[in-house]
Amino acid sequence: MFKFRPKKPIRSFRDLEVYQKTLDCAVVYSTDVKPKLIQLKYDLLEGMTNCALSIPLYIAEAHGMRFSDFKVAVATLEKGMLGCNKMIVYLEQVKGIYGKQFITDLLDELSGRYMDLRGKMFRLEKSWQKFRQADQNLAKLKRPGA
């Protein structure tokens, strides 16, 4: 039987699970994948590194903008989802090029984490939209003459 545990309130972007886990992925990339790619002189290293760190950055930006400019916040969160897709492509390319010289289980595991996180970001976006709609409906009810 599952016990109900209320979720910890979100006070900042640092409380978001998608932020924490994408930052974890960026750290794993930087400590376990990047050094080996430097040794192998991987051509797309800079792009891959920028992509890995941009994902948690997009989440932080989106969270900060969601009340001031909701459309831009959603677009920024979608950039984070695109970043997850790009990291999966980078990781699969590395596996294809250097498969025999690399621990492919690590690349597969990291790709899987990015795929799961992309889905979680999509659900976060949907929850933001749901709460925004509820706030707009509440505002309509509070308006005199509405």
Every domain of the chain and the residues it spans: 13-142
Q: How far apart are alpha carbons 94 and 88 in whole angstroms?
A: 10
pLDDT number for residue 12: 76
Rounded to two decimals, the pTM is: 0.83
pLDDT in tens, the chain (146 residues): 567 665 666 667 788 899 999 999 999 999 999 999 999 999 999 999 999 999 999 999 999 898 889 999 999 999 999 999 999 999 999 999 998 887 889 999 999 999 999 999 999 999 888 876 765 665 666 766 55
Q: Which two tokens stand for residue 7?
A: 């979720």
What's the CATH architecture for 13-142? Up-down Bundle (1.20)
Q: At what angle do helices 45-65 and 17-28 cross, to 10 degrees?
A: 170
Please count the other Cβ atoms lying within 10 Å of the Cβ belonging to residue 88: 18
Q: Which residues contact 48 (CB under 8 A, 6 or more apart)?
A: 29, 34, 37, 42, 87, 90, 94
Q: Which of 83, 88, 101, 84 is nearest to 42 (CA)?
A: 101
Q: In the Cβ-directed half-sphere of 127, how many Cα atoms lie within 13 Å?
A: 8
